[in-house]
Structure 1
Amino acid sequence: MDPIEPKLMKIDNEDFRALFTPQLLKLRDLFAKRNYELRIAGGAVRDLLMNIRPADVDFASTATPTQMKEMFEQENIRMLHKRGEEHGTITCRIDEKENFEITTLRIDVVCDGRRAKVEYTTDWQLDANRRDLTINSLFLDLHGNVVDYFGGIEDIETRRVAFVGDARQRIQEDYLRILRYFRFFGRISNSPDHEADTIQAIIDNRDGMSGISAERIWTELKKIVIGRMADDVVKAMIEQCGLQKYLGLPDECNITRFRQIFNRFPKSVEPMTMVASLCEDEEQIAQFHKITKLSNDERLLGEFILREREAALENMNNDDWWIDRMVDLEVRPGHENLPDRLRLRLVQLARSVLAEDERIEMLQKFTPPQFPITGRDLMEAGVRKGPGVKNILIYLYELWKTSRFTSTKEELLERARDSDIPDLSKKPKSPKH
């Protein structure tokens, strides 16, 4: 490609200066001594320009992986064998205090929409050209000079999110960039409106998303659905671009409910709570799981919300219903080791039905009564050891709950030998673990 004269901009703010630990200064001097260029790359530069202290700092260099390994070996600097070396990334640990990831400048020679075969280069412009968005294609040398080949500085200033060069080409190199575009749009933009050409490029290439791994899709999507401007971003993804098929979401998503929950609880909802808000039944969570390969806790949270949502809406102001659900989840025999996990599910359920703040606070602070009977108590009272113990425990638990938790241990043990104890071992439907 034709050489471009980069735009330069000097920064020297507190966030930039805070990066210069003794370890980074040592790294800088090592590269300078061997005439290798070393710059901060990508997202950290974007954050610094937005007056955000970056949480992660990635580096790029003209040194090849072989040259870096030789240098670190000569200087007795430990290298960490992490995945990424095949793509040119070397991770070193300096003074046993700080890790640095340095990636050799590269160009993508062959791309199939999921992965690329790379070739190393010493041309900063070529490396910038292979990146997804202009705001992520910036470099920052260790003297505070931002190097910008594709208008990323201006796009940050105007809060514009755009692909580097031709949007279709960038997307076809890696179809996950469709989701990355929406994630960064939510983080950067000050307007819900997208450029028409960008939206059309996404629509034209959305079928390529079917080849993206489940883990990569969910990694991006879980950030989108609870990120800044999630309501507007998800609306555009579904209503303008029709991406729900590729995300495992139902054809008809409840955008209105999603928007209501997000606007009410923008910083206290789990990603699966927001996904569940788009769905109407448990089977849709199962379909979503097929695409995204959720963790067990994530899947069970989604299923729990869909299973309980209608009843929660009907009992919005019924204290006894919420208390019973809390006690069932945390005290019912069999759930003794799961209180924190199950409490989270109930609080997320309350947020998913837009419960009042007082209701949510009550759930968060509620201390459930302690069921006074254990299996040992039953056996000491003469109940024969075996599977029947669990059924009797649950029978007594239901009696205790019916008494609004007032029945004493002695009163309950007197009922342990009732002749008509039903099989309650599977009722009420217990939350799966």
Structure 2
Amino acid sequence: MGGMILPDADWRHREGLDRLVEVLGDARFVGGSVRDTLLGIPVSDLDVATPLSPQRVIELLKAAKIRVVPTGIDHGTVTAVLESGHVEVTTLRRDVSTDGRRATVAFTDDWREDAARRDFTINALYADPATGEIFDYFGGITDLEARHIRFIGDPLQRIAEDHLRILRFFRFLARFGDVADPAALEACTARARDLMALSRERIADELLKLLVTRDAVRVVGMMIERGIFVPVLPEITASDRFAHLAAREAEAELAPSAIRRLASLLPADAAIADGIAARLKLSNVQRRRLVAAVLPPEEAPRPLAYRVGVEAAVDRLLLSDRPIAEALAIRDWQPPRFPLSGGAIVARGIKAGPDVARLMKQIEGGWIAEGFPEEDRVAELADAAVAQALRSTSS
């Protein structure tokens, strides 16, 4: 489709951007920024492609006093640091060899060759910074209008080059697509076992992004049906709890959480969740949250939040059948601190030792049951508990 012009958008007026492309001379916007602008959604990452070599890019930017960091120079990418944020500048490339995990690239000055090594037609759109003219070598604009997610070239070959493209296909389908290209779907299904060759970090990164997309529930259901998870996450066997959670997040007007959504796909078993978190090499924070989220909420909202923390309590309540209002009621609640020290028990005549800890626990339980009353009431609870303990020891 020729003659299409990139619509104006906020990101095109970012400070320093005009100067950057002017200094490069031969450059085009590429990928997500072009795709998302055509879809009318905000652009986060900005990528510029150029036939200039990475060394030449660095020379030109340095001479123009634009800060440049050689972030991925072996793959032809450097990062220009502008007042308004980062812009990735990548030399046009073609694949020389691939092993399903990483590609060896050679630089080229042929825009079409660069487009041909990208994954999906909707990601291989380029725009001239000056005129806004769009260059579309593989029918990406037509696919974007139809919300059709399609590999460039032969899907089996594209998956063989980088196995992560299986998960990327489903993520883009869930984010932008209505129509899955049948050949792509068959190829992803046939090659699902290839995912085993990937690092677990790459799988986790792609999966967590997928889980928060607009159409994640339908697409995850499709992935389960086609056995996509079996090689790497065989524990994921049904998506009904995920659908239940997504509906409740929407009703509560809470932003979807990838870790909470992952919990909805797992059995209610902390040990299994911990094993999966380890397998996916999640961060310690993510791991703790996942393990806490899979368990059922066994008490009232505030006692639960006091015991496990507000975030875990909200996760558990949303994942359950309990009224949504319960999760919302504690979302901004700050659990109080128990206003009693072991010293206060000793001062009341109990000898330091295991009895003190036992009484503390008993008094804290009463305090929680009464809805976290003020210190005066805690003192009364302490007096009563200590008096009872002293009576039972003296009798």
Regarding TM over 0.5, the answer is yes
Partner of 2:23: 30
Does residue 346 of structure 2 align to residue 358 of structure 1? no
Alignment map for 1:29-108 (pairs within 5 Å): 29-32=22-25, 37-82=26-71, 84-94=72-82, 96-108=83-95
- Gap change, CA 1:98 and 1:278, over 3 Å in 2: closer
Partner of 1:321: 300
Partner of 2:245: 261
Contact 1:248 1:289 in 2 (8 A): no
Contact 1:280 1:306 in 2 (8 A): yes
1:328 Cα deviation (Å)? 2.6
Contact 1:79 1:91 in 2 (8 A): yes
Partners of 1:353 and 1:384 in 2: CA distance = 44
Contact 1:247 1:288 in 2 (8 A): no
Contact 2:70 2:77 in 1 (8 A): no
Identity of aligned residues (%): 31
Contact 1:285 1:302 in 2 (8 A): yes
- Gap change, CA 1:382 and 1:61, over 3 Å in 2: farther
Partner of 2:162: 174
Partner of 1:409: 379
Partner of 1:317: none
Does residue 214 of structure 2 align to residue 220 of structure 1? no
Partner of 2:184: 198
Partners of 1:381 and 1:85 in 2: CA distance = 70
Name the SS for the 2:205 alignment partner.
helix
Partners of 1:74 and 1:165 in 2: CA distance = 40
- Give the CA RMSD over aligned residues: 2.6
Partners of 1:106 and 1:73 in 2: CA distance = 23
Contact 2:100 2:160 in 1 (8 A): yes
Name the SS for the 2:12 alignment partner.
coil
Unmatched 5+ stretches in structure 2: none
Cα displacement string for residues 232-268 of structure 1 (whole angstroms, at most 9, x for unaligned residues): 100111112x0222342416x2322222222332453
Name the SS for the 1:19 alignment partner.
helix
1:204 Cα deviation (Å)? 2.0
Could you state the TM-score of these two structures normalised by the residue count of structure 2?
0.88
Cα displacement string for residues 155-202 of structure 1 (whole angstroms, at most 9, x for unaligned residues): 0011100000100111111110111111111111235xx333222211
**How many pairs align?**
383
Partner of 2:195: 209
1:362 Cα deviation (Å)? 1.7
Name the SS for the 2:52 alignment partner.
coil
1:373 Cα deviation (Å)? 0.8
* Selected match of 1:291 from 252, 270, 279: 279
Unmatched 5+ stretches in structure 1: 1-6, 312-319, 330-341, 422-433
Alignment map for 1:146-165 (pairs within 5 Å): 146-165=134-153
Partners of 1:228 and 1:181 in 2: CA distance = 15
Name the SS for the 2:296 alignment partner.
helix
| Matched AA of 1:261 | L
Partner of 1:430: none
Contact 2:174 2:216 in 1 (8 A): yes
Contact 2:80 2:86 in 1 (8 A): yes
